[in-house]
Structure 1
């Protein structure tokens, strides 16, 4: 039997190139200038604290790893796009997690914004979180698809399993 498609290594390379091109279009990282995110009073300490809070909240609500990665991606893209104030950082982080959960999680798993705010220890109201969601959506131009490190791992592992399965047969 003759294979008519490109070899598996070419398919993997094309999938990776496509994901990388998409990432290049959308991915931004906050730039630290001096000891703060450029144009803000957010230090690396507070940035790291917010990312760790996203992780802890993600684990608390048993969200998948993809949700955490996507929330951090939204967080980075927003901080690279606007001059956020430190006092809004936890609300931004919470809203990023909520948006990521709405994309990646089953509806039954996602708690209400009120429950998420109370159980996670967030110091902002549900109304503030919802308002921040809208701000994030507008600042990111409603473009929430972005390649994350988890996407690359999924591409590589899926291709590897596929290749391994058919190489043995």
Structure 2
């Protein structure tokens, strides 16, 4: 007997939400300091807009961008990062999101990512930043995202609508012979 895929997906989402509630930390925008040693909220927002442009160019899944932003926020929350490293951090988060959400053949190569993003860092710098991010997040990239929340909230409405369509009386079709 084949397991119900909808049930398995829901169970996975519930597990992700449960894990997220245990480790959740609110993103508190840092006030700009006089020394500019921290990434400001405006700089973070600009990095997200930049990632959105890259995502649009590469035509990847929406989950890739959402996960990349989630990883970025989870990394920037406890870490003091200098603005000059923000693009490298952001593109490394994007690369992690792509490797997590995309099919292997659709994940852009590092050279392709560097060329299409104009991030100003080398593939080896992105890999080094990727290792730092993974280390700081304890290799836990799977977290509930805003898109997961929307899937959970919208699913009952979609299920009801599809049920109504399935229960609609079928019209007689004339057979042309």
Q: Shared topology, TM-score over 0.5? A: yes
Greater relative CO (CA pairs within 8 A, separation 6+)? 1
Q: Which residue of structure 2 aligns with residue 41 of structure 1?
A: 38
TM-score, normalized by length of structure 1?
Answer: 0.80
Separation of aligned partners in 2, 1:33 and 1:91: 19
Please state how far the C-alpha of 1:15 moved relative to its aligned partner.
8.7
Give the SS at the match of 1:78. Answer: helix
Q: SS of the counterpart of 1:124?
A: coil
CA distance in 2, matches of 1:29, 1:136: 18
State the partner residue of 2:27. 30
**Within the alignment, does 1:83 sit opposite 2:80 as a pair?**
yes
- Cα shift at 1:29: 4.2
3-state SS of paired residue (2:75): helix
Identify the residue that residue 6 of structure 1 maps to in structure 2: none
Secondary structure, aligned partner of 1:81: coil
Structure 1 stretches of at least 4 aligned residues deviating more than 6 Å after TM superposition = 14-17
Count of residue pairs the alignment pairs up: 155
CA deviations on 1:56-88 (whole Å, 9 max, x unpaired) are 111111111111110000000000121111111
Cα gap change, 1:139 to 1:73, in 2 (>3 Å): same
CA contact (8 A) 2:38 2:82 kept: yes
- Please state if 1:122 is matched with 2:122: no
Matching residue of 1:136 = 133
CA RMSD of aligned residues (A): 2.4
Gaps of 5+ in 1: 1-11
Correspondence for 1:55 among 52, 55, 59: 52
CA contact (8 A) 1:64 1:105 kept: yes
Tell me the distance in 1 between the aligned counterparts of 2:14 and 2:108. Answer: 36
**What are structure 2's unaligned runs of at least 5 residues?**
1-9, 168-177
Bigger drift between 81-90 and 15-24 goes to 15-24
Aligned counterpart in structure 1 of residue 148 of structure 2, from 130, 148, 151: 151
- The offset of 1:25, in angstroms, is 2.8
SS at match of 1:32: coil
1:167 CA drift (Å): 5.1
C-alpha distance in 2 between matches for 1:29 and 1:53: 23
1:102 maps onto 2:130 in alignment:
no
